[in-house]
Structure 1
Amino acid sequence: MANDFVTIMDMKFLNISKNDLFQDIIYPRLHNNEKTYLVTANPEIVMLAKEKRDFRDMVSRADYIVPDGTGIVIASKIIKQPIEERIPGFEIMTELIGYAEENQLSCYFIGAEEQVNRRFITKIKELHPNLLVAGSHHGFFDLNDRHIVDSIKRTEPDLVFVALGAPRQDAWITKYYDELDKGLFMGVGGSFDVIAGNVKRAPEIWIRFNLEWLYRLIKQPFRWKRILKVFEFMIRIVLKKY
């Protein structure tokens, strides 16, 4: 399969359906032990990459960048290069965990507060009792601390989910990526908090109508500065000021 890409503000997005992403890219790479760095990017991530060169350099090392954010899909239509569909990072993570359980693949989970990380692992084991958990660690550590990467080298997990938030999760992945021989590495932001029950994800109806961002703003009004970045992104797209 020839992969199509759409470039938005210098970020190269994979233009593919979620089903094809799994069937044609992720699953084959997992079974062939091909190391993979997957980034899910929304307008905030695009703007952060535009403003911070070091973060832009990190993201540019990703094997694939997928569109996680309604704003990305809308922007693709405005520039007349429509992206097939939004692929939420949360859904990629949860589906991969289910797939890992079914196929005896192991997962390593990094991130969130220590108690949240523990609750997350407990919940994941309830949902997926046969999942192989290679290891886990909370997100409050120095990026130069080699404890986690040494643990990953020993346990050789198939999937590594890093919930440190951008740009920290990408900084950790790119810092140690070349040292590791296998695994799919993916930054998952606040996903552990959602599964642990610390943060509630938007109801399905909000997600269906692409209003998840508004639900998060209502529930977490401190996010307003981040929402402003989304508006700035859209204004730049409309005015073609990339």
Structure 2
Amino acid sequence: MSSIPTSVQAVPRISMGGLPIAVMNREETAAFLVDAALAARGRDVAPLIVSSANGQVLSLCASDPKIKNLYLSSDLISADGMSLVHVSKLRAQTPLPERVATTDLFHDVAREAQRKGARFFMLGASQGNISKAVTNVRTMYPDLEVVGFRNGYFSLYEEAIVDQINKSGADILWVSMGVPRQLEFAMRWRPQLKVGVLKTSGGLFDFLSGRDSRAPQWMQDAGLEWLYRLGLEPRRLFWRYAVTNIHATYLLFSMPVAVLPACDAEPD
């Protein structure tokens, strides 16, 4: 792309595995999120909801209409999975430029936010992990304003959490509570939230805290990060990956891949 889209409607998308996936690289995505968040500052507008899809998400959406509706209610879905990138290069007229993994994107957005003055609120994970994650982020990005944080152990109907976020003056809210809870929170409180952008984040804070480690770069590039994680937690992850990887591969190759109109975020 020659320039960063100025509105979410202008972001190019392709339909993959039943979801509309944004055709933007990490740098473009980071710039877009920060610019959109700052443009919303002081305005009475609902936040943009930005989520991500990998093989597991494609499988869940195909199996559960409620989860799929949550994703289709997002304003933007990034490709957080190399399988989507690889298949797009085989099947799409406009392939995905690269994987936009949230664990990488966070740092791109943090650098951009630090430079432009956007403020973060971090919501999710255990109290120990979120506290450590915030400490590490403030060390890595000393000029970045992390204006608030809270663990993810609360009722989705607890309005006091929304009040805390709004009073912080945050521009970007990172919600790390897993699928589908983080999107349920986003859609439940979207009208009341005063942030510019809400980014769902999966297990991001566990990585930022240092509790979890990333796979070697060559495994990430090859789309094998799931295998690295399986080696770390075989009992918890074996059946999840055994089912969702096969199902996602089927969806990526059996469902139509098409460029979506710029004004329409719904797949054909």
Q: Same fold (TM over 0.5)?
A: yes
Task: Identify which of structures 1 and 2 has the higher relative contact order when contacts are C-alpha pairs closer than 8 Å and 6+ apart.
Answer: 2
Give 1:63's aligned amino acid: D
SS in 1 for 2:170: coil
1:63 maps onto 2:78 in alignment: no
SS in 2 for 1:178: coil
Structure 1 vs Structure 2 CA RMSD: 2.1
% of aligned pairs identical? 23
| Aligned residue among 252, 256, 263 for 1:237 | 252
1:79-90 superposed matches below 5 A: 79-81=91-93, 82-90=95-103
Map of 2:85 onto structure 1: 73
In structure 2, C-alpha distance between the alignment counterparts of 1:90 and 1:237, rounded to whole Å? 23
Structure 2 spans left out of the alignment, 5+ residues: 258-268
Query: How big is the shift at 1:7?
Result: 0.6
Query: How big is the shift at 1:241?
Result: 9.6
Go from structure 1 to structure 2 and tell me whether the alpha carbon gap of 1:9 and 1:238 turns closer, same or farther (over 3 Å shift): closer
| Aligned residue among 236, 240, 249 for 1:226 | 240
| Aligned residue among 122, 130, 148 for 1:109 | 122
Query: How big is the shift at 1:72?
Result: 1.2
Give deviations 1:46-76, integer Å, cap 9, x for gaps. 1111222222121112111111101112332
Map of 2:58 onto structure 1: 46
SS in 2 for 1:179: coil
Task: Pick which of 73-82 and 115-124 moved more.
Answer: 73-82
Give deviations 1:170-210, integer Å, cap 9, x for gaps. 11111101112332101111111111111111122322333
In structure 2, C-alpha distance between the alignment counterparts of 1:207 and 1:78, rounded to whole Å? 19
In structure 1, C-alpha distance between the alignment counterparts of 2:169 and 2:69, rounded to whole Å? 26
Question: Under a length normalisation based on structure 2, what TM-score does the superposition of the two structures give?
Answer: 0.82
In structure 1, C-alpha distance between the alignment counterparts of 2:129 and 2:30, rounded to whole Å? 28
Are the aligned partners of 2:103 and 2:207 in contact in 1 as well (CA < 8 Å)? no
Map of 1:27 onto structure 2: 34
Structure 1 spans left out of the alignment, 5+ residues: none
Map of 1:134 onto structure 2: 147
1:178-217 superposed matches below 5 A: 178-217=191-230
1:5 maps onto 2:5 in alignment: no
Give 1:72's aligned amino acid: L
Query: How big is the shift at 1:45?
Result: 0.8
Are the aligned partners of 1:71 and 1:230 in contact in 2 as well (CA < 8 Å)? no
Go from structure 1 to structure 2 and tell me whether the alpha carbon gap of 1:113 and 1:76 turns closer, same or farther (over 3 Å shift): same
Give 1:44's aligned amino acid: Q
Query: How big is the shift at 1:38?
Result: 0.8
Question: Under a length normalisation based on structure 1, what TM-score does the superposition of the two structures give?
Answer: 0.91
Structure 1's consecutive aligned runs of 4 or more residues displaced over 3 angstroms after TM superposition are: 77-81, 236-242
